Chains A and B, each alone.
Chain A
């Protein structure tokens, strides 16, 4: 259920009445959806009950480590369920945890859900990247009193990174990776297994990169809502944290199938290519609004062809990856990255994709995106790139006003 949420949301909407007819169903996407539907979060809970190592939380970019250690993160399932049960969960967060009303819904909903399930869940450990969004970070501290063992990974804050300190920073993260491995499974990670995980992930990344490149010809065959599925259960759709829907061979075969489909679909008529930068509320219904208005999101700040280095030890490779995503602003607040650096990367994507405008998205009541979205807005405006800021609650459907603004923006660019 965690993996299908975005597509389910998009599919449940009425067929658009705009100019663009719904795209032909892609057999590859159908197969991917079937995989996602078969991958049920309840399986993870069950596995935890049967002795598998399962934790809450995740660390952006370090999922290959989890896989190499045979550790499962239940966080995606928690996020999906926190959307489903948000009304109750938010209420619990505000009353039981006394989390201020003005806190963003995703954090309140996850906190509330943890409390609601504290007696029934088999997952009793939580891993927290201390450089993650500050709200999630402090919220994780409250979980200690809920009977969870909470473990924190130390971050570096490399704003205005000094390249002469790279080795030092990499060593720091290498130590953090080893410390985390010990906490997760009581021993260091097997570097041969980790190297194989990184290699596989790079294979997948290259395929995804190709898919995204082909989308520039016809973005409607695989719309943005579908792109989330491409991540394979990942938090970001470039699949750094993919679980391959727990069947990597089949998953990779489907990616190949999609590449073949995309190579053969006719080029789409004139459409408005757009980039998205910012937090994650912009999925499901809003993606459909963009499609309806003949727009297409062809890139975002998560979308970078970043590969794990294969010329250094795999643990160092993970360390470099973390550092680079922070320096370059990939993953933005989830990776503790620099939001001013994110703008430079979006600029590069603008050149690569010929996008005509930028949609800046933010989560309602998120202070961190509030400052970033203003910066991005000003940054692109200064370069005479049309930009619109859309703020939405991740757990509430966007209002008609929000949708109308977006449509008007795209019409203006058509």
Chain B
């Protein structure tokens, strides 16, 4: 039988202390009165190197996971909208102190939902929307995204009054490459039979990436990596799970707590946009830094909005194999168009690779806990049986 994971937090452990560090940084973001501009952004295609080179303090807009904030957002939408986007709107309309502190929001047109909420967020705080080419192999698309980044640079210079030099961008590219590499390396420790870090803890690290100042985050990650890499290798008989699908917001731990806390499996890798996926690429450190950013960001592991969709499913499948997972939880928020309608593409691909997969459509309400638990429990039972009898035909749900 799998180990029951110890979920108790120990504040002397740097991993457990992360939440407090993040909370402190959020408070600092709110209270900073130095005149330094503060921005929020959506999503992984926003080039953080450029934000940092502009000298702005930046946070990702992904404070979500509770039904109350969703309700606040429903003032602007009907229920037929993904809870994450509703929460973004709820955060602004409800006057969340973190969002209230923001001087400007930058969004990238990944999915149409993001594009749509951009127009509403503009009622609360100035917004700039960047176009995002979906055909990343076309030279014209790459050039166009480069031009978008030139425009973004100009906009940031106007916002801050700072000139963004090529040297400054280059310096930040080097810094963020180090950040991505160390987060990737920490994630790869989860390839061990007994990973020294849980899926929940890894998501906390990722959360820190989006809230902490990059230099501070790098120090913390490097220290952590050294410590974690020294963990004695142990035998492990955890069920190894990949979570794939749409965004997992910073406070959306319901499923993870269930899988790791209540059911004793271990999430070892994520193919969604707030797990390891954004840290798999590096940006070239030579040549025109803005062009390097355009190429680097378009070359990252693609979200489901990029074309063709099979790029995204194949990438998820590759991650699952690399991390030797026993099964995949394919989770998307209700009304998430990209991952909801794209379900068949992903599930079929996992099946082709011999990976059992369970599709879960979820939201931020708390009402379906029992149902979720029953379904995941049954899935885990199947995976356990399969692990014990590897020659039997796999079952997908």
Contacts and interface: CB of A to CB of B under 8 A. Distances in A.
Interface string A137-169: 111011011000010101111111010010010
Given A138-B338, A142-B344, A372-B116, A154 B141 contact: yes
B359 interface: yes
A370 interface: yes
B77 A103 contact: no
B216 interface: no
Interface stretch (B19-27, B45-53, B124-132, B257-265): B124-132
Nearest to A370: B78
Interface stretch (A18-26, A38-46, A128-136): A128-136
Given A134-B113, A333-B112, A371 B131 contact: no
Contacts of B141: 154
B186 to A, nearest CB: 32
| B78, B308, B338, most chain A CB atoms within 10 A | B78
Given A165-B151, A375-B119, A102 B334 contact: yes
B76 to A, nearest CB: 6
Interface in A364-399: 365-368, 370-375, 391
A24 to B, nearest CB: 41
A159 B310 contact: no
Given A103-B341, A135-B341, A138-B341, A154 B135 contact: yes
A375 B81 CA distance: 14
Contacts of B130: 157
Contacts of A97: 341, 344
B304 A98 contact: no
B119 A157 contact: no
A75 B361 CA distance: 31
A367 B82 contact: yes
Nearest to A155: B131
B120 A159 contact: no
B184 interface: no
Given A371-B77, A372-B116, A152 B337 contact: no
B361 A100 contact: yes
A190 B128 CA distance: 38
A107 interface: yes
A159 B119 contact: yes
B113 A157 contact: no
B109 to A, nearest CB: 4
Nearest to B335: A367
B337 A374 contact: no
Contacts of A107: 341
Interface in B94-146: 109, 111-113, 115-120, 122, 127-135, 138, 140-141, 144
A339 interface: yes
Interface string A162-182: 100100100010011001000
Interface residues of A, number: 50
Chain B contact residues: helix, strand, loop or mixed: mixed
A168 B147 contact: yes
Nearest to B346: A98
Contact of B129 (A102, A103, A141, A160): A160
A212 to B, nearest CB: 28
B56 to A, nearest CB: 19
Contacts of A340: 119, 122
A368 B344 CA distance: 22
A99 interface: yes
Nearest to B129: A159
Contact of A152 (B135, B304, B341, B361): B135
Interface in A82-111: 96-100, 102-103, 107
B109 A157 contact: yes
Contacts of B133: 154
A156 to B, nearest CB: 5
Contact of B307 (A152, A366, A391): A152
A152 B134 contact: yes
A338 interface: yes
B307 A130 contact: yes
B80 to A, nearest CB: 5
B237 interface: no
Contact of B341 (A142, A150, A168, A176): A142
A122 B130 CA distance: 39
Given A107-B341, A141-B309, A157-B109, A100 B119 contact: no
B342 interface: yes
Given A98-B347, A157-B132, 18 more contacts: A97-B344, A99-B340, A100-B340, A130-B135, A134-B305, A142-B341, A142-B345, A152-B134, A152-B307, A159-B118, A160-B122, A365-B80, A367-B337, A368-B112, A370-B80, A371-B76, A371-B77, A375-B120
Interface of B: 75-78, 80-82, 109, 111-113, 115-120, 122, 127-135, 138, 140-141, 144, 147, 151, 304-305, 307-310, 334-335, 337-338, 340-345, 347-348, 359, 361
11 contacts: A98-B359, A130-B134, A133-B112, A135-B337, A135-B341, A142-B341, A340-B119, A367-B78, A367-B80, A367-B82, A371-B81
Interface of A: 96-100, 102-103, 107, 130, 133-135, 137-139, 141-142, 144-145, 150, 152, 154-160, 162, 165, 168, 172, 175-176, 179, 333, 338-340, 365-368, 370-375, 391
